[in-house]
Structure 1
Amino acid sequence: MAESKSRLLYILKYLWQNTDAEHYATTADILAFLKGNGISCDRKTIPGDIAKLCDIGIDIEEERSRENRYSLSSHLFTLPELKLLIDAVESSKFITVKKSAELIEKLSQMTSIHQAAELKSNLYVSERVKPLNEQIYYLVDNINTAINRGKQISFRYFHYDQHRKEVPNNDGKRYFFSPYCLVWNEDHYYAIGYSEKHRKLGTFRVDRMKEVEILSADAAAKPADFNLPEFTRRVFDMYDGETKKVTLVCKNDLMNYIVDRFGDEVDTVPGDCGHFRAVAEVSVSQTFFAWVFQFNGDIRITAPEEVVLQYGEMLKNALQT
């Protein structure tokens, strides 16, 4: 009985690693693999073992012929799905080079060796900045555990000075924090929760934390009106200005940027001389002005007048700095 169970597992392992929709394994291939792992059996046993695996939901395709061929028709992830996951890992600034390589290797094992080779042959390793701190993953794990248990955490926090040296915040004293969630924004992880020091909701970048400890004290209850999407929009997009309906005159080839920024239902009207007009509700802030500025005049604020004047004042201040 024990050998029969082991044989099933070895057959499944072989099919997982060596077959897919385009690559089959013959009965002889499977027998050779079993023999190499110290398991001997008759070739007539294989069809029955395959049937047992199919009975528990393993998607194995059988092609009957003089020598039967088998393949695992579907793995847990499709090739495009794995490609997306690998690209996300590789491009993330939050994940170290070492951990990126480890995760990519693990993801590659979620399919056959043939498809894994295709994934790796198309992999481009960018030269974007990666962190050096391998402790980040343990920090994330501790924070996530505290959230699940409903407990407070304490930690130290730091920033960089002009010499790129780590400088402790709060005079090196520990922060006490009730974490509610972890949010990924602009390639960084943030813990959102209630800060005892600041007596209000706050955010801390996980990669700037040190010595995260889970406390026995229960986390402070979330405010009744806590709205995560609204909070993240306000904090991360700095939507802290007054909301106003703003008119923008834009070059025709910038429609993609308008849709990306304001959504595909934004109010737009074709104009003259290669331009269109867009009207959108925006939070009038430096973040919005910085977004407009990056287009070098190809997007212009034309109304309301007070917003035009605010933008002009910001530009004058920048020139005088």
Structure 2
Amino acid sequence: MPKSANQKKKLLYLQKILLEKTDDAHAMTVNELKEALAAYDIHADRKTLYDDLELLGGCGLDICTIRTNTVRYYVGNRDFQLAELKLLVDAIQSSKFITRKKSLELIDKLSHLVSENDAKQLRRQVFVTNRVKSVNEKIYYSVDILHNAISADRQISFIYYKYEVDFTSPERIKKVPKKDEPYAVSPLALCWDDENYYLIAFDSAAGIIKHFRVDKMERIEQLAAPREHNDIIDAFNPAQYAKAVFSMFGGEEADVRLSVDNDKIGVIVDRFGTDIIISPESDKTFTVNLRLILSPQFYAWLFGMENKIRIISPEYAKIAFSNKILAVSSGH
């Protein structure tokens, strides 16, 4: 039989077919492999296919067999097992700092590391759609710049944004620089907490260590100046800092309506994202309906807002919060 022009590609396509179409629940016979190769205009006889399978196995591809009335072949161990990739997909889906678009791109890339049938279990975009996600598409590259600056022992500069209420605009929430001039800091570490990415850095102007939400950082540049070194930085422990500063909430979910002072819009956006509906309540306040968690940590967070954020409904949440305040004031 004359060889087709694609014969030299046969091993590559055979490996591609095995990786994409087989797993322990979906093995293929030699005849099925022949048919799959024919779709790429590659002709193969049984003997050469046996030799090719043996060659691929000898080169590290874990080709396993199932023996019944015939022999079926599939790829066993891979660089990533399905359970491992599910963990990575869950992390991507739950991460606020990764935009919805980038989340879907990453999940699609991960799905190519398993068979087509197993990939269906990884493509669960519905969860990505319903989560609060960053709107900063550049964050994926911002993290890389920050890692490089830390590794190169260099300072960085960036513009840091905050949110304000603006009922004159259709969006009602606008993003503005927190201060006129860029920040210049010595980056110390990156911390992932409560589904967000934070940069922990030493701010020379303030003389203290601060943390910044990476999705609020733009125009990040690595500077020529080396990172500052002092007693505060030398004594810095990233794990201890993260444990002291960041916290997680847990408890029952409820539909809650809040009355919020306008200057606390940034706090609301930080916690719940920009995909929220706010309505003017007065010249200085607005209301927002949220699906959130009623827990001791939530009430403590609310208490820390110094009455700038107030519960409107449900009534039982108002009563629970009042009772907790009374308990604190009475020393119980």
Q: CA deviation at 1:217?
A: 2.0
Match of 1:174 among 154, 172, 182: 182
| CA shift digits 1:64-88 (9 cap, x unpaired) | 6775421001333333333332233
**In structure 2, C-alpha distance between the alignment counterparts of 1:169 and 1:300, rounded to whole Å:** 34
- Please show how residues 235-246 of structure 1 align to structure 2 within 5 Å: 235-237=245-247
- Please show how residues 188-267 of structure 1 align to structure 2 within 5 Å: 188-221=196-229, 223-237=233-247
Q: Secondary structure at the match of 2:146?
A: helix
| Partner amino acid, structure 2, of 1:134 | E
Confirm whether residue 50 of structure 1 aligns to residue 53 of structure 2: yes
**In structure 2, C-alpha distance between the alignment counterparts of 1:314 and 1:60, rounded to whole Å:** 68
**Contact 1:175 1:196 survives alignment (8 Å):** no
Structure 2: runs of 5+ lacking an equivalent: 167-172, 252-295, 304-316
**In structure 2, C-alpha distance between the alignment counterparts of 1:121 and 1:183, rounded to whole Å:** 26
Confirm whether residue 129 of structure 1 aligns to residue 157 of structure 2: no
In structure 2, relative to structure 1, the CA distance for the partners of 1:291 and 1:215 (3 Å cut) is closer
Structure 1: runs of 5+ lacking an equivalent: 239-253, 255-285, 302-307, 316-321
In structure 2, relative to structure 1, the CA distance for the partners of 1:23 and 1:233 (3 Å cut) is same
**In structure 2, C-alpha distance between the alignment counterparts of 1:11 and 1:152, rounded to whole Å:** 50
Q: Which residue of 2 aligns with 1:283?
A: none
Q: Which residue of 1 aligns with 2:22?
A: 19
Q: Secondary structure at the match of 1:44?
A: helix
Q: CA deviation at 1:4?
A: 7.6
**Contact 2:111 2:119 survives alignment (8 Å):** yes
Q: Which residue of 1 aligns with 2:329?
A: 312
| Partner amino acid, structure 1, of 2:242 | T
Q: Which residue of 1 aligns with 2:195?
A: 187
Q: Secondary structure at the match of 2:210?
A: strand
**In structure 1, C-alpha distance between the alignment counterparts of 2:131 and 2:331, rounded to whole Å:** 31
Match of 1:81 among 63, 84, 93: 84
**In structure 1, C-alpha distance between the alignment counterparts of 2:324 and 2:135, rounded to whole Å:** 41
| Partner amino acid, structure 2, of 1:312 | S
**In structure 1, C-alpha distance between the alignment counterparts of 2:297 and 2:124, rounded to whole Å:** 40
| Partner amino acid, structure 2, of 1:218 | P
Confirm whether residue 40 of structure 1 aligns to residue 50 of structure 2: no
Q: CA deviation at 1:125?
A: 4.8
Q: Secondary structure at the match of 2:77?
A: coil
Q: Secondary structure at the match of 2:159?
A: strand
**Contact 1:62 1:68 survives alignment (8 Å):** yes
Q: Which residue of 1 aligns with 2:98?
A: 95
**Contact 2:157 2:223 survives alignment (8 Å):** yes
**In structure 1, C-alpha distance between the alignment counterparts of 2:124 and 2:243, rounded to whole Å:** 38
In structure 2, relative to structure 1, the CA distance for the partners of 1:6 and 1:145 (3 Å cut) is farther
**Contact 1:91 1:126 survives alignment (8 Å):** no
**In structure 2, C-alpha distance between the alignment counterparts of 1:5 and 1:136, rounded to whole Å:** 42
Q: Which residue of 2 aligns with 1:71?
A: 74
Q: Secondary structure at the match of 1:57?
A: coil
Q: Which residue of 2 aligns with 1:29?
A: 32
**In structure 1, C-alpha distance between the alignment counterparts of 2:214 and 2:110, rounded to whole Å:** 24
Aligned length: 259
Q: Which residue of 1 aligns with 2:119?
A: 116
Structure 1 vs Structure 2 CA RMSD = 3.6
**Contact 2:103 2:128 survives alignment (8 Å):** no
Q: Secondary structure at the match of 2:165?
A: coil
Q: Secondary structure at the match of 1:155?
A: strand
- Using structure 2 for the length normalisation, give the TM-score: 0.67
In structure 2, relative to structure 1, the CA distance for the partners of 1:38 and 1:217 (3 Å cut) is farther
| Partner amino acid, structure 2, of 1:236 | F
Q: Secondary structure at the match of 1:138?
A: helix
**In structure 1, C-alpha distance between the alignment counterparts of 2:210 and 2:135, rounded to whole Å:** 26
**Contact 1:24 1:69 survives alignment (8 Å):** yes
In structure 2, relative to structure 1, the CA distance for the partners of 1:45 and 1:224 (3 Å cut) is same
Q: CA deviation at 1:12?
A: 1.5
**Contact 1:21 1:74 survives alignment (8 Å):** no
Q: CA deviation at 1:57?
A: 2.6
**In structure 2, C-alpha distance between the alignment counterparts of 1:177 and 1:188, rounded to whole Å:** 20
| Partner amino acid, structure 2, of 1:36 | A
Match of 1:8 among 6, 11, 14: 11
Identity of aligned residues (%): 39
Q: CA deviation at 1:105?
A: 1.6
Superposition misfits of 4+ residues, deviation over 4 angstroms: 2-5, 64-67, 121-126, 286-289, 291-295
